Amino acid sequence: MNYNEFCLLLQSVPRPVILVEGRRTIPDAMAEKARALAMHLAQEFPHARFRSGNASGSDSAFAAGVMEVAPERMEIIAPYAAHRKKFRHPRAHYDSPESLSDDELEALQTITVNATPANKGLIKWYRRGGKLGAQAACLIRDTMKVYGTRSRLHQPTVALFCIDPQDPMAGGTGHTIRVCRNAGVPVVFQSEWGTWVA
């Protein structure tokens, strides 16, 4: 997708949502590109909302750009309610799977397993604590970022990712890409969006 196609997509939706995220470890130059692009998009598309996952690296870089322009249009989906509280912006919107009804949570768990069947056993650890419970919460959070909720969060219009070019489908980022593709959400990697802002 080029920048003109991206703009046309956003203009075709009354309230677009842009998912911005990716790897936790990225080079400083890539973090700066992500921040600059997010700031540019927040300025150019005042009707757009942005969504990310409250993680370090890509999520934080993209979110920083949005926060400079319009923190009230930033939706952060954390794996649990108290996640990284000291890094929160008072005007951004925060949510987590803990706010979901049992029915919504069960649906997201099913979608999570369908996207990444290898994690079926891991998802059973959700709400059980420990390292496996935290990993399960992160995966369900990743699915929630894409599917949203019935009453509060709309499905993203498009998703911008910072990936590892050598292994783009690895880890939680790869899981989120699979969820996006299953949901029909277009995905754009830095090989494309990295050229959009000088």
* 11 falls within a domain: no
Give 3-state DSSP helix, strand, coil % of the chain, rounded to 5.
Answer: 50, 15, 35
Nearest to 156 by CA among 35, 9, 54: 9
Q: How many domains does the chain have?
A: 1
pLDDT range class, residue 6, cuts 50, 70, 90 = very high
Q: What is the model's pLDDT at position 43?
A: 97
Q: What is the CATH number of the domain that holds 143?
A: 3.40.50
- The pLDDT tens digits for 69-128 are 999 999 999 998 877 677 777 788 999 999 999 999 999 999 999 999 999 999 999 989
Nearest to 83 by CA among 112, 103, 53: 53
Is residue 149 over pLDDT 90?
A: no
> d(Cα 23, Cα 75) in Å, to the nearest integer?
18
Is residue 146 over pLDDT 90?
A: yes
Angle at 91 between CA 143 and CA 94, to 5 degrees: 20
- The pLDDT tens digits for 20-79 are 999 989 999 999 999 999 999 999 999 999 999 988 899 999 999 999 999 999 999 999
Number of other CB atoms surrounding residue 72 within 10 Å: 13
* 13 falls within a domain: no
Q: Which domain holds residue 70?
A: 45-193
pTM of the model: 0.93
